[in-house]
């Protein structure tokens, strides 16, 4: 009986040794399948943050970029984008002079990374529709009401800066940071635009009329100055005329006449034929 028991034990060991590799393979395969099903890790990409949920409860720790492990079944990880995003919002408002104004506002913003879990818990992932768009519309109405329609155009940089500061303060409460702000455009009613165009036309015509009047005044002053100069010149000439000057002018005229004479006396004499003009006056001298 002892020998039979020993032989039976040996045979059982041989059978177990043959089945061992198959069982090990099954165990490994079961572990791999379990890992794939349970998925005990999570990968957080660039510009993202992971929100840890223990049975749905938001935890204080925020997962950064990279590979992280979680407890299957108990923990889930929600991924939030914290990169800079763009929002374009249309808003209607009224100016201080009761003109209807339609504004198109563009902002760049991002979720504060360390507060991603708070944003997820209090707002969720639809923060643009729930918070940003309403905040932009309310801000545009509040700031636009402090300016006239004309000031919205002429003081656009100041209006834009005031809107940016107001919106930044409002969104910072929700852990949303405004990176850039710009007013894409203002549009007004047709009646107001026609009034602005008429005003600009009137100002241009008034400016042209003023320039023409200034030109006429300058030309008139130039003519008056020229006439005054000419009158002063004549006065000085009359003041300097004397008997000696008159005699000198006569002598100069006679000398010019003599220079023109060719020395030949005319065959027929008569009045005005001999070029000895003023001879007697010369001899007297």
Tens digit of each residue's pLDDT (9 = 90 or more) over 94-113: 888 888 888 899 999 999 99
Mention every residue, 6+ apart, whose C-beta is less than 8 A from residue 94. 100, 101, 141, 144, 145
- In this prediction, residue 208 carries a pLDDT of 77
Same domain, 230 and 141: no
Q: What is the mean pLDDT of residues 210-228?
A: 82
- In this prediction, residue 283 carries a pLDDT of 46
Residue 195 lies in a domain: no
Q: In what helix (H) or strand (E) does residue 100 lie, and over which residues does it extend?
A: strand 100-111
Backbone phi, psi, residue 264, to 5°: -100, 125
Backbone phi, psi, residue 276, to 5°: -90, 80
Neighbours of 96 (CB within 10 A): 13
pLDDT bin (cut points 50, 70, 90) of residue 74 is: confident
In this model, does residue 243 exceed pLDDT 80?
A: no
More confident residue, 261 or 218: 218
* 176-188, strands of its sheet edge to edge: 85-94, 100-111, 176-188
Backbone phi, psi, residue 87, to 5°: -130, 135
Same domain, 138 and 90: yes
Specify the pTM: 0.57
Same domain, 236 and 181: no
Which own/partner contact pairs does 28-34 have at CB distance under 8 Å and 24+ positions apart?
A: none
How confident is the model over 114-156, as pLDDT tens digits? 999 999 999 988 888 899 999 999 999 999 999 998 888 889 9
Q: In sequence order, what are the beta bridge partners of 208?
A: none
Residue 278 lies in a domain: no
Collapsed DSSP state (helix, strand, coil) of residue 76: strand
Same domain, 113 and 182: yes
Residue 52 lies in a domain: yes
Same domain, 60 and 120: no
Same domain, 97 and 65: no
Residue 267 lies in a domain: no
Residue 96 lies in a domain: yes
More confident residue, 15 or 114: 114
Same domain, 175 and 223: no
Collapsed DSSP state (helix, strand, coil) of residue 152: helix
Tell me what percent of the residues of the chain surpass a pLDDT of 90.
Answer: 33
More confident residue, 266 or 201: 201
Same domain, 15 and 67: no
Residue 271 lies in a domain: no
- In this prediction, residue 224 carries a pLDDT of 83
Same domain, 75 and 141: no
**How far out from the chain centre does Cα 282 lie?**
91
> If we measure between CA atoms, which residue out of 109, 124, 111 comes closest to residue 48?
111
The length of the chain in residues reads 285
- The count of domains in the chain is 4
Residue 137 lies in a domain: yes
In this model, does residue 262 exceed pLDDT 90?
A: no
What is the span of the domain harbouring residue 12?
1-38
């Amino acid at each position: 009986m002892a020998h039979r028991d020993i032989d039976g034990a040996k045979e059982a060991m041989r059978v177990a040794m043959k089945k061992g590799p198959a069982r090990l393979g099954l165990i490994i395969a079961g572990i791999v399948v379990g890992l794939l099903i349970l998925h005990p890790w999570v990968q957080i990409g660039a510009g993202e943050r992971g929100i840890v949920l223990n049975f749905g409860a938001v935890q204080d720790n925020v997962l950064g970029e990279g590979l992280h492990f979680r407890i299957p079944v108990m923990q889930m990880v929600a991924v939030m984008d914290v990169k800079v995003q763009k929002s374009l919002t249309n808003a209607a408002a009224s100016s201080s002079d009761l003109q209807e104004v339609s504004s198109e506002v563009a902002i760049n913003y991002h979720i504060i990374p360390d507060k991603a879990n708070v944003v997820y818990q209090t707002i969720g992932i639809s923060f643009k529709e729930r918070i940003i768009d309403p905040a932009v519309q309310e801000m545009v109405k509040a700031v636009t009401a402090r300016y006239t329609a004309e000031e919205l155009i002429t003081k656009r940089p100041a209006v834009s800066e005031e809107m940016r500061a107001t919106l930044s303060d409002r969104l910072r409460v929700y852990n949303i940071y405004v990176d850039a702000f710009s007013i894409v455009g203002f549009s007004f009613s047709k009646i107001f635009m026609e009034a602005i165009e008429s005003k600009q036309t009137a100002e241009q015509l008034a400016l042209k009329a003023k320039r023409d009047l200034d030109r006429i005044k300058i030309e008139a002053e130039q003519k008056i100055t020229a006439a005054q100069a000419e009158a002063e010149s004549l006065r000085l000439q009359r003041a300097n005329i004397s008997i000696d000057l008159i005699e000198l002018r006569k002598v100069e005229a006679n000398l010019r006449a003599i220079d023109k004479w060719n020395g030949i006396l005319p065959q027929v004499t008569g009045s005005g034929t001999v070029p000895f003009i003023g001879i007697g006056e010369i001899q007297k001298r």
